[in-house]
Amino acid sequence: MTLAQWLAQGSDYALGLFGAVVVAGGAAAWVARAWRAARRPGEERRAHVDEAISEHERFRQCLARDKRKIDTLEESVKLLLRGQMQLITHELDGNHVDKLAEVRDAIHDHLLER
- pLDDT tens sequence across 21-66: 999 999 899 988 888 877 777 777 888 889 999 999 999 999 999 9
Helices (H), the chain: 3-93, 97-113
Out of 45-49, 65-69, 79-83, 88-92, least confident range: 88-92
Is the Cα torsion angle 33, 34, 37, 39 positive or negative in sign? Answer: negative
Residue 95 sits at φ, ψ, to 5 deg, of: -115, -160
CA distance 12 to 25: 20
Average pLDDT for 76-101: 79
pLDDT recorded at residue 3: 67
Ordered by start, the domain boundaries in the chain are 3-113
pLDDT recorded at residue 7: 65
CA distance 45 to 114: 45
pLDDT recorded at residue 63: 96
pLDDT recorded at residue 60: 96
Residue 92 sits at φ, ψ, to 5 deg, of: -75, -45
- pLDDT tens sequence across 1-24: 676 676 667 777 888 888 889 999
Nearest Cα to 51, choosing from 61, 40, 59? Answer: 59
The answer on pLDDT for 99 being more than 80 is: no
pLDDT recorded at residue 61: 96
Q: Where does residue 82 rank: exposed (0-12), middle (13-18), buried (19+ CB within 10 A)?
A: middle
